[in-house]
Amino acid sequence: MIGFYIFPGGESPNQDNIINKSQIQFVPWNELSHVITLDGNPEGYNIMPATYEPKQLGPFILSVSTECDFTLENYES
């Protein structure tokens, strides 16, 4: 099951600062999409793809579209 979390950039991700908290869902499919309006945080945003069960690894594709210019950066832990 896959899902994702969005956090404000410049902050450590935690339960209190999940931006899409009311829209989080994990689905057993290979595709998930949401329309989310963000407030233009100058620090940007972090998108965290996730699985429902811990330690489940696998490939994923992240596609983002906006009405303004943006840059995607890859951060590996």
Q: How confident is the model at residue 16 (pLDDT cuts 50, 70, 90)?
A: very high
Question: What global pTM score does this model have?
Answer: 0.82
Distance (Å) of CA 60 to CA 1, 43, 50: 12, 25, 10
Mean pLDDT in residue range 3-23:
93
Reported as a single tens digit per residue, the pLDDT across 22-43 is 989 999 887 888 899 998 899 9
User: How many helices (H) does the chain have, and how many strands (E)?
Assistant: 0, 2
pLDDT of 69 higher than 90? no
Among residues 35, 11, 6, the alpha carbon closest in space to that of 21 is found at 6
Domain-wise residue ranges, the chain: 1-77
pLDDT of 9 higher than 90? yes
Mean pLDDT in residue range 47-75:
87
Q: Who has greater pLDDT, 60 or 4?
A: 4
